[in-house]
Amino acid sequence: MIAFLSGGRELLETARRAAESAPRLPLAQVKLEAPVRRPPEFLAVGLNYADHIAETGMQKPTFPIFFNKQSSCVNGPYDPIHLPRASEALDYEGELGFVIGRRCRHVPRARASEVIAGYFIVNDVSVRDWQRRAQTMTLGKSFDTHGPIGPWIVTPDELGDPHTLDLKTFVNGELRQHSNTRNLIFNCFEQVEILSTVFTLEPGTLISTGTPSGVAAAMKPPKWLKAGDVVRIEIERIGHLEAHVINEPADTARI
């Protein structure tokens, strides 16, 4: 996928022409993988919806709070999420994500849409006690399986305005999060401008744009995810992710 994205519009048009005559397979007969399985970078933004800031009791940031999720956390759109042996403070965060399609630097906000190859859904799974221990948040955001993305990449021409999308998160059928990407404090194009000021963005780089209110950590008491739970995240004009939570398997120990 990274090689495909690097090919730009020419490869995209080739794929579109091929799709016109290609055979079709029902989704039920295939297994969807993460659309970018090992991105060069996986970046995310904290505290980017006002209602989420309010529920955390934090101050509204004047500059986006970026952090890294390690690329090894990437998971398929319908693959299970591990409840880690190291913690029970497992949380969900439904988010809009986008992928960079061109190597770029110093991209002005007005041209940011030109370097975005497409959009997808992210579950920014978070292990809250580990997140609090490490002030950069990276450790609490990077456990294996804690980066479900997909179910596919929707190109900008198909999606339209990325800042008008309804977002919902359900746990076992209960609606936990409901917002719209119009409520982002720092929108997708602002994020590209800021990040590309600092470093070169490579094709395949993933950026997750932040979550609205309704996370488990803000509930009293917190409703942490447990084995057997099902988390479903829907974003208008993109689709949905759905994952079962399972106990971390014993065979994850590799010494």
pLDDT for res 9: 85
H or E element, residue 253? none
For residues 141 and 148, what is the distance between their CA atoms, to the nearest angstrom? 12
Residues in contact with 17: Cβ distance below 8 Å, sequence separation at least 6, in sequence order = none
User: Could you read off the pLDDT of 175-212 as tens digits, one per residue?
Assistant: 999 999 999 999 999 999 999 999 999 999 999 999 99
User: Could you read off the pLDDT of 114-160 as tens digits, one per residue?
Assistant: 999 999 999 999 999 999 998 889 999 999 999 999 999 999 999 99
Residues in contact with 64: Cβ distance below 8 Å, sequence separation at least 6, in sequence order = 45, 48, 185, 186, 190, 191, 194
The secondary structure of 166-229 as a DSSP string is EEEEEETTEEEEEEEGGGBSS-HHHHHHHHHHHSPBPTT-EEE----S--GGGSSS-----TT-
User: Is the predicted pLDDT of residue 255 greater than 90, yes or no?
Assistant: no
Which phi and psi (to 5°) does residue 177 adopt? -130, 140
Peptide bond preceding 108 in cis form (omega within 30 of 0)? no
- Longest Cα–Cα distance in the chain: 54
End-to-end CA distance of the chain: 31
pLDDT for res 128: 98
Query: Six-digit token pair at 100?
Result: 């960079």
Work out the mean pLDDT of the chain and round it to a whole number. Answer: 96
Tell me the residue type at 211. T
3-state secondary structure at position 139: helix
- Taking residues 72-101, report their average pLDDT: 98
The answer to whether residues 69 and 130 touch, using CB atoms and an 8 Å cutoff, is no
Query: Six-digit token pair at 6?
Result: 């690097």
pLDDT for res 254: 82
For residues 117 and 39, what is the distance between their CA atoms, to the nearest angstrom? 14
3-state secondary structure at position 131: helix
Q: What is the percent of the chain where pLDDT is above 70? A: 100
User: Could you read off the pLDDT of 221-247 as tens digits, one per residue?
Assistant: 999 999 999 999 999 999 999 999 999
Q: Where are the domains of the chain?
A: 39-252
pLDDT for res 190: 98
User: Is the predicted pLDDT of residue 253 greater than 90, yes or no?
Assistant: no
For residues 215 and 89, what is the distance between their CA atoms, to the nearest angstrom? 12
3-state secondary structure at position 116: strand
Superfamily of domain 39-252: Fumarylacetoacetase-like, C-terminal domain (3.90.850.10)
pLDDT for res 134: 85
Nearest to 170 by CA among 124, 88, 210, 230: 230
Answer yes or no: pTM beyond 0.95: yes
User: Is the predicted pLDDT of residue 106 greater than 90, yes or no?
Assistant: yes
pLDDT for res 8: 87
For residues 84 and 179, what is the distance between their CA atoms, to the nearest angstrom? 29
